[in-house]
Homo-oligomer: A and B are copies of this chain.
Amino acid sequence: MRVTSLDVARAAGVSQSTVSRALRGHPGIPPETVRRVREAAAALNYIPSDRARDLATRSTRRVAMVVDLDNPLWSLLVGRLYDELARHRYRLTLIAEHGDPEDIESHVLGGSVDGVIVSTAARGSRLPEVLHDREVPTVLLHRYAEDVRLDASVADDRLGARSAARILLEAGHRRIGALLGPSSASTGRDRAAGFHDALAEAGVEAAPEHVRHGGFTFEHGRSAVTEMAAAGTLPDALFCANDMIALGAMNAAHELGLRVPGDLALVGFDDLAEAAWPLVGLTTIRVPFEDMLRSAVDLLLERITGFRGGPRRVVHPVEPVLRSSHRRA
């Protein structure tokens, strides 16, 4: 903040604009001049002001990610997004979904970021709509919003859930239940739909008391299994709409003295690193987060650099990971 390009200019005996051009690698500056400027800059410990540059160029090389900080998934997403953005020399600003909506909007629209990645398109949030109306480059990640015409990079949740349910069917289970996510999220809806697809195909019916909706949380899985057991309505196998739910279910089962699998078979969804931790390996559906982030960033940068076509949706295939929690006794 102290030493400016003007200081460097004086030290190098050139004008401020030459300093700018030399340092930014503009064509038409002879190597000798560049060297002199570089030296002067280094000698003075000159560091250009991002803020002034941003103001002058009307761009920030910064992307915001809106996440639900209560969902452990975000940490996985953010870490990878960071790396992916770094490859393109973009920076990352975090915005929590649970913040003041006004504040979120002003942050995004205040020009502190060139684009936004929204990993939490819960129904009811008007953020996607606002972003669309204001023409802020935006990509929905992991979840999409049917009603807003925005780019999205998502997993094939419906097909994945169908595979998950099939794994249980093929293992020979028939009394199959499901711990589903909230239907406010596209992931919740699609994974529920996929589950029902598979059962319908197999001509199997899930008892209503075996199917529960809840948050994508450890606690949902834990309480659901505890309550089902108490009510004596525990099925043989449970499809859990994500790994957190499955881990919670596994935990509850263990506390009840139930073996997994054996007494209760489980299949999750996501393939968090944690899925490999529990003492019983969790069978799950792997979501290719890395790929999803890569295309999310690609979509976003295209928007930022001027692409104006209609909304695109990239759907990534998912893949079953068979460990042991799905087996039949």
Contacts and interface: CB of A to CB of B under 8 A. Distances in A.
Nearest to A250: B279
A254 B96 CA distance: 38
Contact of A51 (B51, B75, B92, B96): B51
Contact of A110 (B47, B111, B251): B47
Contact of A94 (B47, B49, B72, B78): B78
A55 B111 CA distance: 13
Interface in A45-90: 47-52, 54-55, 58, 60, 62, 69, 72, 74-75, 78-79, 82-83, 86
A1 B49 contact: no
A312 interface: no
Contacts of A278: 277-279
A218 interface: yes
A106 interface: yes
A105 B72 CA distance: 29
B93 A91 contact: yes
A111 B75 contact: no
Given A69-B82, A75-B78, A278-B277, A92 B91 contact: no
A205 interface: no
A109 interface: yes
Contact of A1 (B72, B111, B247): B111
Interface in A274-296: 274, 276-280
A191 B172 CA distance: 50
A94 B96 contact: no
A145 B54 CA distance: 34
Contacts of A52: 55
A247 B278 CA distance: 9
Interface string A19-41: 00000000000000000000000
Given A74-B79, A250-B279, 12 more contacts: A1-B58, A47-B106, A47-B110, A47-B111, A49-B55, A49-B110, A51-B111, A69-B83, A78-B94, A82-B96, A251-B277, A274-B277
Interface of A: 1, 47-52, 54-55, 58, 60, 62, 69, 72, 74-75, 78-79, 82-83, 86, 91-94, 96, 99, 105-107, 109-112, 218, 247, 250-251, 254, 273-274, 276-280
17 contacts: A1-B111, A47-B106, A47-B110, A48-B106, A50-B107, A51-B60, A51-B111, A69-B83, A72-B75, A82-B94, A91-B107, A91-B112, A94-B94, A247-B277, A251-B279, A254-B279, A277-B277
